Amino acid sequence: MVGLPVTRWTTGYWPVNMIVDFVPNPISVSHMDFWSVFYKDACCESVFTITSTAADQSLPSVTVSEIPVGATVSLVKAMLKYRVAKDTSATKNSLVINGTEHIQVDKTGCTYIDAIELVKGMIEVEASSESGGDLWVGSINISSEVTGDDTYEFQWEGSDAIGNNLLIRDLQTGLRVYFN
């Protein structure tokens, strides 16, 4: 029988009687992470600005490449990370959520789909101060949109903050692609 050997000890700490069994091969699932370049504003600084006016904003795209030939993509999770958030409004600041807002992904030329759900109060920063960064991994399987090697566009749906402005430094988007 093909499989992985499993050793079971029958008594105490010493191998009095060792039995070797086999477990069938587990399903082989692999994953690869793909990251964008850092977001750059019009002045070529690595700063993403969230104002108090809700607007869809473009995020850096991610190129997926080198998925093995013949592999089937089974699960995909979107990721977003940033190094630091800074408030410039002189008031305690965070995201404002009116309805539902998401980080969204689009296979070039298609329609954006929801990838990471955002909640009110995310990226909370005290007035005129900074807060450490974070890594968000979406809980939504976006394998219907991310199907293999291609370039995928990202956007921040309805981004808005309590005060002007919330500056996000060194922001990157990513995709974790599981395949078998």
Q: pLDDT tens for residues 60-104?
A: 999 999 999 999 999 999 999 999 999 999 999 999 988 789 999
Model pLDDT, residue 28:
77
Q: Give the CATH number, domain containing residue 36.
A: 2.60.120
In a domain, 1, yes or no: no
- pTM given for the model: 0.82
Domain span at 45: 28-179
Model pLDDT, residue 1:
43
In a domain, 139, yes or no: yes
> Structurally, how many domains does the chain consist of?
1
- Distance between CA atoms of 47 and 55, rounded to whole angstroms? 17
Q: Is the dihedral of CA 163, 165, 171, 175 positive or negative?
A: positive
pLDDT in tens, 14-27: 444 545 555 454 56
Residue range 155-166: mean pLDDT, rounded: 94
